[in-house]
Amino acid sequence: MQIYIVKEGDTIDAIAGAAGMDPLRLAFENQIEAPYRLVVGQSLLVTGGRENGTQSRLEGIQISDEQTGPIIMNGYAYPWIDEDVLTETCRFLTSISVFSYGFTETGELIPPSGVGEKNVIQEAKRQNVIPVLVLTPLGSDGRFNNNLVSSLVGSLEIQQNLIRELWSVVQEKGYGEVDVDFEYVLAEDRELFADFVRRLRIIMNLFGIRVTVALAPKTSRDQRGLLYEGIDYKALGEAANGVLLMTYEWGYTYGPPMAVAPINMVRRVVEYALTEIPAEKISLGIPNYGYDWPIPYEQGVTKAISIGYTEAIRLAVDHGVQIYFDETAQSPHFRYWQYGIQHEVWFEDVRSMHAKFGLIKEFGLAGTGYWQLMRLFRANWLLAEHEFLIQKGTSFSSQLQDGSPE
C-alpha cells in the first residue's frame, strides 16, 4: 500500500496501470466519480497490485505492512447519519458515539434529536461495534452551558438523579459505554467535575460499562482560557477509564485560515497529556472535515463553511487549481476564485491522516476518536485498517476479570 501524489498529466488509468490494479477499484477507494478527473497535488491511496501479482511501479509514500494494535477506533455520529455511510463506516469501528444526550438542571436526561438513535445502535450491534452514549451540557441554544455543569457538579442529589437516568437508558437501549463531553467548564468547578466523572465511572464499571471523558487540547497544566482552566488532565485521567484529546479546531469557523489539526500542535498536546495520563488511556481526536474561508480574513466578519474530503477535492478539480501540502502542519490546502471572491481551503487527506496515525504509533496511544462520521472518507478507513489491528467485539465488561471497577 502507498500514497501517491498526482502529477501533471496523470490519469486514473495510468496510475492504476503502474500500480497493477483495476482503475475502477482505484477510483472507488478514493471516491472519484466519472469522468474521473484528477488535480495536481491530490493524494490517492493505492492498495494494488493484488489483481495480477505485479509490483507497483509508482513512486509514492510507502505504507508499512506492520500493523499496530489492537486499538480503539471510535467516531461520533448524529442520529440522522446516512444509512449507507453508517453501514460502511461501522465495518472499521470498535465503537460509535451517538451525539448527544443533554440534561436539565435537576438531572433529567434529554435524548438526542432525530429518530435515528435506534438505527445507529442496531447497526452498531449488528457489526460488533459498541454504541456509546455521549453526555453533553448543551443548553436550549445548542451551546455548551457551564452554568448547567456547575449545577450538576455542585449537587450530589442532582448527580445521583442523572446517574440513575443514565443507567436506565444504558440498560434499556443497550449502550456499552458513556462518554462525558463537557466543554468550557469553569475553573472553580475543576475538582468537582473530576469527582463527578470518578463517581460515574465507579458506578458504571460495576455493571461493565466503560466511562470516558473528552478533553480540550491543552499543552500545559495551567493553560489559561475558558476552554482549558476547568479541565484537569491528571485528575480526569485518573477518574475515567479513558480520555479523548479533542485535537482539532485550530482552524475553525470564525478564525483565520489554517489547518484544522496541524500535526505540530497536535504533537504538543499529546506530549503534555502523556505527562499526566498513561498512553494506554489516551485516544487521539481526528477531524473528518475541513474549512473553506473567503479571504482576505477579517476578524469578527469572516465565516468559514465546513466541508468534507470529497467536497474539497471537487472544488479543486472544478476550479482547476493545484493542491499544496504544508510540511509543518502536515495538511493539504489550496486557493480558488469564485464570483470575484478568493477562497482558501484547508482539509484532511490520506497523507495528513497517515501523519496522525504515525503519532498514535509513536506514542503507543489507545486509539482514535473521529469528529465526526457524517461524511464518508473511504480511503481514510482503508488506510486505518491497513495500519492498525482493529479488534472488534470485545466488551469492557469482559476486561473486568474480577468483576470490580478500575
Per-residue pLDDT at 400 exceeds 70: no
Contact 40, 362 (CB under 8 A): no
pLDDT at 53: 57
| pTM, full prediction | 0.95
CA distances from 360 to 40, 303, 367 (A): 29, 32, 7
pLDDT at 259: 98
Q: How confident is the model at residue 246 (pLDDT cuts 50, 70, 90)?
A: very high
Contact 189, 230 (CB under 8 A): yes
Per-residue pLDDT at 148 exceeds 50: yes
- Just list the catalytic residues: 183
Higher per-residue confidence, 399 vs 380: 380
Domains of the chain as residue ranges with CATH: 2-62 (3.10.350.10), 72-294+345-399 (3.20.20.80)
Give the whole-number percent of the chain exceeding pLDDT 90.
90
According to DSSP, residue 8 is labeled T
What is the torsional sign of CA 374, 379, 385, 388?
negative
DSSP of 327-342: TTTTEEEEEEEETTEE
Closest CA to 74 of 93, 61, 90: 93
For residues 334-343, average pLDDT: 98
Strand runs labelled E in 56-181: 61-62, 72-77, 95-103, 109-110, 130-135, 177-180
pLDDT in tens, 166-200: 999 999 999 999 999 999 999 999 999 999 999 99
Question: CA 54 to CA 75: how far, in whole Å?
Answer: 36
Question: CA 303 to CA 299: how far, in whole Å?
Answer: 9
Order the strands of the 2-5 sheet from edge to edge: 43-46, 2-5, 61-62
pLDDT at 141: 80
pLDDT at 309: 98
pLDDT at 402: 39
Per-residue pLDDT at 395 exceeds 90: no
Q: How confident is the model at residue 393 (pLDDT cuts 50, 70, 90)?
A: confident
